[in-house]
Structure 1
Amino acid sequence: MIALSDPISAFPVPDLASLPEDVRARILAVQEKSGFIPNIFLALAWRPEEFRAFMAYHDALMGKREGLTAAEREMIVVAISIGNQCQYCVVAHGAILRVRAKDPAISEKIAANWRKARLPARSRAILDYATKVATASHLVSSEDRAALAAAGLTQDEVWDVGAIAAFFSMSNRLANAIDLTPNPEFQAIGRG
């Protein structure tokens, strides 16, 4: 296990060398692309089978090229992470959102209060629905889905908004449960 002076998680963090090859390769590929290893990868690697399952569903939702844009997907994550008070996901996905939206201030606007941000009607409808799924899913109704259709979303896009909100709500809860801390590197991403 890695000995950390400032732990990134309340649970053990494995040495990269001790990980199964596929998990280690995934982590090293992220490090090569971003220049650092996001703490979520190290925290989840403690349990390789769960790491694989988490990443598979993450990739299925966030890696799509059709339907929602990459920026819309990240905007959902930031908005629901605020609702769930997940510091790690707000900081990490805020950085990704700034890059995907090509807007150095968008993540703060969404995080501070997306309802007050000047957003297109489509974005507002997406975040209304995603937030409801994340914080009051038992109240989601056909009227909520109809509002998304009225904003121009397809049935597949409506599914994706709900699935992203639900998946990242789980992720938010796990990050909070393990006291996952955000990497300081995220702060500079997408600002210059």
Structure 2
Amino acid sequence: MPHIPLDPALPGISALFAYRPETATPLGQLAEVLLRGPNSLSVGERELIAAVVSNGNECRFCTGSHAAAAAETLDGGRAVVDAACGGIDDAPVSAKIKALLWIALAVRETGRAVTDELVAAARAEGATDVEIHDTVLIAASFCLFNRYVDGLATVAPDDQAVYDQIGKRLAVDGYARLGN
């Protein structure tokens, strides 16, 4: 049960955005820029970063939503997402994405866990400075989103079909409209 009065028909961050639309707008814009804006990382790769971080933070709503969005937008779909959430080294993604996912998980622990070695490994696999920057910012932002959603005990549906619908909607519409 949510800690504050939220619309019970709206799961996760949707309820929080409805509760405080003035904070929803900049948060939705941030997600849109990070996950849908121009970037050398694909939408699916960026959604995968969000899903892996959310999974590591044990945020059921964000994991379900972003894993579904990644599955919709990533070559290989759900199998790739499930593999990455289960263990980065065995995931069927490029060495560059694996290196970026390791950076994202370090950020999840603490920003200071991002070491020169992790950055060098990503660069050695062809990651650009912008890709490293955006990986860190996506991971940090999803720590915020995960704690926002779970810290107010929002509704996290048990039905995978709900997340699949959210993933389809995010794949088509993105995030900018969430705050409007």
Structure 1: distance between partners of 2:91 and 2:34: 25
Paired residue secondary structure (1:12)? coil
Structure 2: distance between partners of 1:115 and 1:182: 29
When the two structures are superposed, what TM-score results if normalisation uses the length of structure 1? 0.75
Residues 166/55 of structure 1: CA separation in 2 closer, same or farther (3 Å cut):
same
- With 58-67 and 82-91 compared, the bigger mean Cα shift is at 58-67
- Counterpart in the other structure of 2:37: 64
* Match among 74, 78, 87 for residue 104 of structure 1: 78
Larger Rg: 1
The structure whose residues are more often helix, as a share, is 2
Greater than 6 Å deviation, 4+ residue runs:
none
Post-superposition shift, 1:142?
2.6
* Match among 83, 89, 101 for residue 115 of structure 1: 89
Higher RCO (C-alpha 8 Å, min separation 6): 2
Task: Specify the code of the residue in structure 2 equivalent to 1:98.
Answer: A
Check the 8 A contact 2:11/2:155 in 1, yes or no.
no
Aligned residues: 163
Task: Specify the code of the residue in structure 2 equivalent to 1:95.
Answer: A
Gaps of 5+ in 2: 169-180
Structure 1: distance between partners of 2:151 and 2:41: 30
Tell me, yes or no, if structure 1 residue 170 matches structure 2 residue 144: yes
Task: Specify the code of the residue in structure 2 equivalent to 1:161.
Answer: T
Paired residue secondary structure (2:41)? coil
Post-superposition shift, 1:77?
0.7
Structure 2: distance between partners of 1:164 and 1:100: 17
Check the 8 A contact 1:133/1:165 in 2, yes or no.
yes
When the two structures are superposed, what TM-score results if normalisation uses the length of structure 2? 0.79
Task: Specify the code of the residue in structure 1 equivalent to 2:3.
Answer: A
Post-superposition shift, 1:110?
2.1
Structure 2: distance between partners of 1:38 and 1:65: 29
Paired residue secondary structure (2:64)? helix
Check the 8 A contact 2:54/2:62 in 1, yes or no.
yes
Structure 2: distance between partners of 1:119 and 1:160: 18
Calculate the aligned-residue CA RMSD, in Å: 2.3
* Match among 62, 72, 95 for residue 89 of structure 1: 62
Identity %, equivalent residues: 26
